[in-house]
Chains A and B, each alone.
Chain A
């Protein structure tokens, strides 16, 4: 198959065509020509207003629920959602059933998604069954294709065990990912602890539970001299701790989700179960500080925390509703809605493509002749209202339905496949 992308504004600091507008010709999954290709013919010609082209985007923390919870999402529907969101590669949570705790579960995902348009990288569990008691077979999982290690939605609690895990993965240069949360604080919390939770009569989860876990885990990672990534950061204090650790040379990094950049606890006043998230959304003070950190470099990447839940898991009492929201398809549009012009296309590509690749040791595609085409096509200025019938994910649990978003994904090219929205 041949594809011609006309008049694409290329955003790729590693490319000789960075920040220039070019025609790009892709032949059989490989970029074969870049330049002014007025007379070039192709099987598929892509033209759009204000078309931008960058190396494919990566999500470090998405849940496809397969195997075990196929009624929420499957690899197929998850891949469709990722493609629609502009992601050519995703790292998948191990919180499936069975848990990704050994080679066979890693291989299931790798094999099943082998030739798909979105490349799938499983995240292996740190501890067996993510129970936080014994180390899982991370060495074997790494060999089978696990990109990094995390207990996902059940972050490791024991300091001693996390330290062992951080030391253990050094043998194969592994990375551990944690949602920082000390579960002994605000154990039964359903939302951010604060004025709003007090007024709503909902048990609160203090932001302190995150901050002390970040501080503690940094100490562990520094002691082990190992690599640690925090995802779903909600506190500017956490970012301060992480920045200080980075400055002193520690291999610490962090990501935030679009939902935590958009919503605040005040949005929970109607007990909207789609906004029951783990970690919870915080106040406007924290949200605004997180926005700042995204722009000034305090945040390394954006993760979607795509967490699908079937209808019945959300149409119930707030306390019983499952936490989490889908996020792949709205990610880019939410970033545009939040930041507008303040977020340059260049910074976005850093957050969505080059940084996560660096941190998760994925190879970096470059937009130049002879390279494999792993690209995302997008239009930063388009605005639209996100609707439920546009959702490709099997689940519809999004608090962004009905919201005006800015920035549209036009399509992706990866693994010699083109997927246009």
Chain B
């Protein structure tokens, strides 16, 4: 089995078979990661550069670990601010790195479409590690992997995505993936944080009521409020956000069922999620992080296989 694409720019470009393949491959790598020797030689001749034009802790470490577990050679590049602010263009930076014979580029960037732009201009395979408010495909894949692990399947499951949808690439990738895999999706949050055309664009349900949405869902994927992406005030205060849209113990206990709580991190504790929810047994937040390594190993492995085919 092979992926239908040579880059991983977004879930938008993947088929349901691609997603299935990545998740199944990830399951095998997860098994590898339970062994005493967690390293496999699969990418021994592959050099990967991690280009992070935007801050990241989890994703960068997760990618690097996945690359090392696959025995790839890795280089890290971290730029504070944008390439434009630094003076060198993105294309120049990447071409300079590629001239040192790099096979795969993992990139996070603050501009939507930046990896798509690179894909048009450079020969290396590209993995999008988050672009602006567009996509974060490996996050959606690890979320899907975690849901599947917990509930057995995605098909027919009711998934709620809560909070700052407008500024979230996690939301968009999750919506693409969940719809392709046959899940039902409701997004809920303040109207100012939900794009006007979301329902029309994806056929998801839109709600402004957290309580009703929680009653409906099997899984609640709670998103981080992206204060750093808000150029204009979109809600009055963090306090009011917590009052109206935050998830607390009392709310969860009132549901009469046990839903699964997810969060892509980093959590704003006491804003979108209270600590007694984030740290409860309903939460699979740390499993998501754990699964992230296996999912990224799978994606890199499959893309590298695609590369040698070309």
Closest Cβ of chain B to A193, distance in Å, is 7
Contact residues, B87-125 vs A (CB, 8 A): 89-91, 109-114, 116-117, 120-121
Q: Which of A188, A194, A199, A319 contacts B12, CB < 8 Å?
A: A199
Bound: A197/B196 CA distance, A: 11
14 new A-B contacts at CB < 8 Å, known A201-B172, A271-B116: A190-B112, A199-B201, A200-B134, A202-B132, A203-B112, A203-B133, A204-B195, A206-B196, A271-B113, A317-B117, A318-B111, A318-B112, A318-B117, A319-B132
A sample of 23 inter-chain contacts (CB < 8 A) reads: A193-B196, A195-B197, A197-B197, A198-B201, A199-B201, A199-B202, A201-B112, A201-B113, A201-B131, A201-B135, A203-B133, A270-B116, A315-B121, A316-B117, A317-B84, A317-B90, A317-B109, A317-B113, A317-B114, A317-B117, A319-B113, A319-B114, A320-B111
Chain B hits for A193, CB < 8 A: 196-197
Q: Does B232 contact A (CB under 8 A)?
A: yes
Assess A316 versus B90: contact at CB under 8 Å? Given A188-B231, A270-B116: yes
Bound: A190/B198 CA distance, A: 17
Residues of B in contact (CB 8 Å), total 33
User: B179-202 vs A: 1/0 string, CB under 8 Å?
Assistant: 000000000000000011110111
Bound: A335/B200 CA distance, A: 32
Bound: A194/B90 CA distance, A: 28
Shortest 9 CB-CB contacts between residues of A and residues of B? A201-B134, A271-B113, A317-B111, A319-B111, A198-B201, A195-B201, A318-B113, A317-B114, A201-B112
Q: Is the CB of A320 within 8 A of B84?
A: yes
Q: Is the CB of A198 within 8 A of B198?
A: yes
Q: Is the CB of A316 within 8 A of B89?
A: yes
Chain A residues with a Cβ under 8 A of chain B: 187-188, 190, 193-204, 206, 270-271, 273, 312, 315-320
Q: Which of B82, B133, B200 contacts A320, CB < 8 Å?
A: B82
Closest Cβ of chain B to A314, distance in Å, is 10
Q: Does B69 contact A (CB under 8 A)?
A: no
- For the A-B complex, the count of residue pairs with Cβ-Cβ distances under 8 Å equals 82
Bound: A379/B77 CA distance, A: 56
Closest Cβ of chain A to B108, distance in Å, is 13
Closest Cβ of chain A to B77, distance in Å, is 16
Closest Cβ of chain B to A323, distance in Å, is 15
Q: Does B169 contact A (CB under 8 A)?
A: yes
Chain B residues with a Cβ under 8 A of chain A: 12, 82-84, 89-91, 109-114, 116-117, 120-121, 131-135, 169, 172, 195-198, 200-202, 231-232
Q: Is the CB of B89 within 8 A of A312?
A: yes
Closest Cβ of chain B to A218, distance in Å, is 26
Closest Cβ of chain A to B137, distance in Å, is 12
Chain A hits for B89, CB < 8 A: 312, 315-316
Bound: A275/B84 CA distance, A: 20
**A319's closest neighbor in chain B, by CB?**
B111
Closest Cβ of chain B to A270, distance in Å, is 7
Closest Cβ of chain A to B87, distance in Å, is 12
Bound: A198/B201 CA distance, A: 7
**B232's closest neighbor in chain A, by CB?**
A187
Bound: A388/B4 CA distance, A: 33
Q: Is the CB of A200 within 8 A of B90?
A: no
Q: Which of B135, B197, B231 contacts A187, CB < 8 Å?
A: B231
Q: Which of A190, A198, A201, A318 contacts B197, CB < 8 Å?
A: A198
Closest Cβ of chain B to A116, distance in Å, is 35
Bound: A197/B12 CA distance, A: 13
Q: Is the CB of A271 within 8 A of B231?
A: no
**B167's closest neighbor in chain A, by CB?**
A203
**A195's closest neighbor in chain B, by CB?**
B201
Chain A hits for B135, CB < 8 A: 201
Bound: A169/B83 CA distance, A: 45
Closest Cβ of chain A to B164, distance in Å, is 14
Closest Cβ of chain B to A387, distance in Å, is 20
Bound: A174/B136 CA distance, A: 52
Chain A hits for B131, CB < 8 A: 201
Chain B hits for A270, CB < 8 A: 116, 120
Most buried by B among A190, A198, A201: A201
Bound: A194/B135 CA distance, A: 17
**A188's closest neighbor in chain B, by CB?**
B231
Bound: A201/B131 CA distance, A: 9
**B113's closest neighbor in chain A, by CB?**
A271
**A190's closest neighbor in chain B, by CB?**
B112
Chain B hits for A199, CB < 8 A: 12, 201-202
Bound: A69/B272 CA distance, A: 48
Chain A hits for B169, CB < 8 A: 201
Bound: A316/B111 CA distance, A: 10
